[in-house]
Chains A and B, each alone.
Chain A
Amino acid sequence: MTTFIQATIAGLSLASIYALLALGFVIIYKAMQVVSFAHPAVMLFGAYMVSWFAVERELGFITAVILGAVAAGFLGWLSERLVISPMIGKPLFSIAILTIGLDIVIRTPINNLIGLDIRGVGAPWGFNSWTVGGAVLPHRSVAMIVTAVVITALLMLFFRYTRVGLAMRATAIDQEVALAQGIDVRRIFALAWMMAGAMAAVAGMFAASDLAGLTQSSYIVGIKALPAIVVGGLDSINGAIVGALVIGLAEAYTATYQSGAAPWLGSNFSQVVPYVVLLAVLLVKPHGLFGSAEVERV
């Protein structure tokens, strides 16, 4: 039982990272029907900036996270302005492939900056933990889960109750009609990329706050958030959260139980479980669990 609780805690921590990333993906997708393969690179950039502000500039952790989020948001905005907006109206695949190019352009210099040293992000919770009824509850997990829940709740409130949130929802439903209502759609696009970038920075910071620290392969975490949005359905905010939970928990349970239950699957199988879940879900539901099916008219 303790093992199970332990695995659940680990799964929820992972899910909180995936949720922050998945929400970014979905916000961008809903705004302009683009899936940004550059999102993991933006995440890496954000995490690097947090690490730089916190460890090298010694600005204090909270300030560093805010500055890192702003920097990543700015990068998101910049990439939207420079390379995505000229492509509006082009086929979706072209834009998706374009973001692959963007990913390579962003990630290469960041990898160069990260280098091979181990970098922390200066997280104040360190590696301490509480023990609750036999189960170890790391401070890091608590911080991650609480932050993810708070950000998600704020996001929901923002979409529900603010004018800008309403404008974003309107744009997601129909860009032209939104434009006709006086909504500056281009500004909504930019805002979507900024919000996604900022959340990715927080997610990246969390991903890099474990024992391994910020490395070039922290990028993998960002790629693993893709199954989360596909499982949930590309255009569903709630789906993104459910997808993140499914993927995070599946990964953590596999990491805990697979070596005992099915060792023939090989070591590190948990790392590819997100993709197994992805295949399984797409096999049954081609539009994810909560994605809206395309309406076909002849």
Chain B
Amino acid sequence: MKGRPSLFTRYESDSAMLPTTTQRVWLVVGLIIVAGAAIWLPRDWLILIATSFIASVGVIGLNLVTGYAGQVSLGHAFFLGVGAYAGAAFGGEATDGLIGFGLDILIWVPLAGLTAAVIGAAIAPIAARLKGLYLAFLTLGLVFLGEHIFREWDSITGGPGVGRKPGILTLGGWRFDIDGQIGGYAVTREQQIYWLAFIVLIIMALAAKNIVRSRIGRAFAAVRDRDIAAEVMGIDLTRYKVLAFAVSSFYAGVAGSLLFTITGFVNPASFNLLLSFTYIAMVVIGGAASITGSIMGATFLTLLPRIIDGVGGVLPFLEVSSQGMMSTSQLERIVFGALIIAFLIFEPRGLNGIWLRLRTYWKAWPFSY
């Protein structure tokens, strides 16, 4: 089929992750550029982008349950919290009254994911009975209950205002969270975390991509599009809804366990409704039911404060002091809310939709019709 890259004669090639050679080449080039960027990027950007990698993992998880399986979850903050504290307990140090096992990163990150997945799967049977907005409210309740538990369970979370350190990034004795040397080259803490986050994102994104193009992913989509029709086709609704919640929670757990290793501090108050809203916004802005979109949305919203900071100096009504009409962080919030509204009204397919449209436009250029 040389020369006709869009002609598919087999189902496998139609559902392939990268159907054309061009895409494969560009992906490899892109991966090398992103990985190599760590060498010259300044520290604060490294931290920001590493955060966006980890947030992407969480957003992929939310997109699996909300975008693909159509079960709106406002409870993602809760699962992120479960992951963060499971990670801290399995991978952190045991200090003054705090539980910590100090395990290897290869153990505590999956364990954090599993803990969240088990809790997700435990809640899912209740959730599977609910439809539509009732489900949204159930998961919303979960966030508030979770916040309370995180505040009160001092031996795991350190309690409000005190908090605790997250899991230690140690792999077979190698520490990612202290400056080190690889083959004679000095690597900073930030660079190592950046690479670690990047690798985790690649693994998790590949896994998600494979889930959604398999039987499971097709079942998710069927449940989302019309649950009754899916049931008639022989899809076990409860089973797939539970599966969707479990997988999504696993992603949230992994993301949560790593998210706070960058700042080095987990505060029980972090896992509030606003965090859930932020993740929902990342899904909406990135593009529902799209893995690429999840990464775009997470990156865009994580970098947004930085972008606004950059623009902020130019806008006259902004002032850093309290004399101005609003601070940059407030403008950031408003832009964030306005973006949710604007994307839902004007581009429901999100950034990924814009990208696809641009691509199709240029593919056929100059014959854009």
Residues of A within 8 A of B (CB): 35, 83, 86-87, 90, 92-94, 96-98, 100-105, 108-109, 111-112, 223, 226-227, 230, 234, 265-269, 271-272, 274-276, 278-279, 282-283, 286-288, 294, 296, 298
Contacts and interface: CB of A to CB of B under 8 A. Distances in A.
A74 B1 CA distance: 62
A273 to B, nearest CB: 10
A258 B146 CA distance: 19
Contacts, number: 122
B338 A282 contact: no
Given A109-B326, A282-B134, A104 B145 contact: no
Given A102-B337, A104-B337, A109-B330, A271 B132 contact: no
Contacts of B280: 97, 100
A227 B137 contact: yes
14 contacts: A87-B344, A90-B344, A93-B133, A97-B340, A101-B337, A101-B340, A223-B144, A223-B273, A266-B148, A271-B148, A272-B144, A275-B141, A276-B141, A286-B130
A271 B145 CA distance: 9
B353 interface: no
A164 B281 CA distance: 37
A125 B184 CA distance: 75
Nearest to B348: A94
Given A35-B133, A93-B132, A108-B333, A102 B148 contact: no
Given A102-B337, A104-B277, A93 B72 contact: yes
B309 interface: no
Given A108-B333, A109-B330, A275 B132 contact: no
B151 interface: yes
A166 to B, nearest CB: 27
A228 B142 CA distance: 15
Given A98-B341, A101-B341, A266 B277 contact: no
Contacts of A298: 228, 232
Contact of B136 (A96, A227, A294): A96
The interface size bin for chain B is 35 or more
B141 A98 contact: no
Interface in B120-137: 126, 129-134, 136-137
Interface in B260-313: 273, 277, 280-281, 284
B132 A230 contact: no
Nearest to A35: B133
Contact of B340 (A98, A230, A282): A98
Contact of B344 (A94, A272, A275, A286): A94
B337 A286 contact: no
B338 to A, nearest CB: 6
A224 to B, nearest CB: 9
Contacts of B348: 90, 94
B141 A101 contact: no
